[in-house]
Structure 1
Amino acid sequence: MSQVTVGVSLKTYFGHERATRWFDEVAARVRVHDAVTSGAVELFITPTYLQVLPALAAFTGTPVRVGGQDVSGEPAGAFTGEVTAAELAEVGASIAEIGHAERRRLYGETEEQTASKTRAALDAGLTPLLCIGETERQQPADAAHVAVAQLQSALDGAAPGRVIVAYEPVWAIGAPEPAGHDHIRVVAVALRAALDADPARTGSSVIYGGAAGPGLLTGLGDAVDGVFLGRFAHDPVALVTVLDEAAQLAALRGDAS
């Protein structure tokens, strides 16, 4: 696919007022960004649950997608503190981030919980943003084996639908530099092959996160379908730099096709 995806997770770095200002600042820029408005570049944002509604309001009239940083794997009912996939979809969110390394490490989330959340998201019409990656630095082929196993586990029993796979080697999250280009290529190619082999995942994407920033998309070329940004994107101007890079890659892919 020629479309290039750029995602941003705000985690809980911003309070409500700061997040609202950031949404407005980014929205003003993407409204005049040809690649985003045309759909050549897909931009999504995952703020905190409380920030989802103001984000949706700020990006009204743009193709920017808004999602939750997590989602319940349970249906509506007696599950205090949870947010269901159905409610996220009801308010206008279209993405659910699932299986992030911090959820696994800090809150003990299991592969079974990741799979139940993926099923719930797809059943509700949300696009799962599946965060996948090895915990320790290892050889690329070994990392690819781990990543594909995580992907297959997450999709076990899930309804058909597109997924966005964010390959984030845990050891690279928050690091000064991303994983090496050759390492990313090997794992991303394996993940894409697994998706391509599954007819239920037509249109799915593989993006890279973990110290992602400018220059990475250019260096990786067709190895990935985009990037998943963290703190680098707190500066809207810096985010636009990556959107411009994504636009160039999308144009190259369009010419090649």
Structure 2
Amino acid sequence: MLSTRTCLSMTIWHSVFEIWATLREIESKIRKAARLLEIQQLLDRKPNQLSGGQKQRVALGRAIVREPKVFLWDEPLSNLDAKMRVTMRAELRKLQKELKITTIHVTHDQLEAMTMADRVIIMRAGKVEQVGKPEEVYDFPANTFVAGFIGTPPINLFRASVVGRKGSLVLDAGEFSITLPAEIARAVRKAGCSEVIVGVRPEDVLLTAERQKKALEMRIDLVEPVGSEDFLYMSTGAIRFVAKVPPKAGLAVGKKVFVTFRMERIHIFDGKTEKAIV
């Protein structure tokens, strides 16, 4: 039979060994996370010696060493400058793919959502408006809120009355009208709406310098160069549109242009519920 002294000695030894083993395990996890995040050189620094981007990496490292089943990132890039946000977006995406850990990323930045997510949940006032892959949410928005939230510049939205003319279905916006292709017209007829909201993405606004049949004449109010393309802001009466055009297209403020749409790409929403019809 073991003496009380022997049992006590073994218990203390075992306790010390456990602490030592745990410390070794923790150190191994820390160094593994540091290699993954490329912050090995920061391990001996004080928190006040770190930049904003370095602090974010350290915060991620603290989460990684816990080996969670799910990550919850709440606005992780909000305090970074624009250049660092771009860098960290790519790094977070790469990190998530390597770790293969389910990640819930909360953000108000739709660009973050579109570039980083496998699936997007769009919420308004605590209610889920739509769930889907980024491209699905962009191409098939469930309502005007989702359509306006996703995309830069935002989608062009305007109201129109549904009118039947000579066997065709026409959307009358006051300043201009649109004759709907047969397939879209069938969906609008089926919905039974007398008024709709039309959505046109800026890349689906087509411009020409010469008048074409059913083209809308507009005046250029602002040209916003963003490098690979220009954003063109135009108006006529109460109608305002923004279009994406190639850079240096020779389009200047005050110039008149004629506008049409890629009809197969337009979105139509119920004028009352604002839910998608097409």
TM-score, length basis structure 2: 0.24
Structure-1-length-normalised TM-score: 0.26
Q: Specify which structure has the bigger relative contact order, considering alpha-carbon pairs within 8 angstroms and separated by 6 or more residues.
A: 1
Greater percentage in helix: 1
